[in-house]
Amino acid sequence: MSKLNEIVDETIAALEEMRRSGVTNVSVSPATLEELGRLPKVVSAQLAPIEASAKVCVKCPELVRCRHNVVFGVGDPHAELMFIGEAPGRDEDLEGEPFVGRAGELLTKIIQAMGLKRHEVYIANVLKCRPPENRTPLPEEVANCLPYLLTQIELIKPKVIVALGATAMKALLDVQLGITKIRGNWYTFRDIPIMPTFHPAYLLRNPAAKKEVWQDMQAVLAKLGREVPKR
Binding site for ligand URA (CB under 6 A): 85-89, 92, 98-99, 101, 103-104, 125, 201
Residue with smaller CB distance to ligand URA, 42 or 156: 156
Question: Which distant-in-sequence residues (6+ apart) come within 8 Å of 97 by Cβ?
Answer: 71, 74
Contact assessment for residue 185 and residue 223, using Cβ atoms and an 8 Å cutoff:
no
Residue with smaller CB distance to ligand URA, 77 or 89: 89
Distance CA 71, CA 125 (A): 8
Residue with smaller CB distance to ligand URA, 44 or 167: 167
Q: Least distance to ligand URA from the beta carbon of 164, Å?
A: 6
Query: In the bound complex, which residue of the shown chain has the CB atom lying closest to ligand URA?
Result: 85
Residue 31 dihedral angles phi and psi, to the nearest 5°: -65, -40
Q: Which of 186, 228, 225, 203 minimizes the C-alpha distance to 85?
A: 203
Residue with smaller CB distance to ligand URA, 75 or 85: 85
Distance CA 57, CA 51 (A): 10
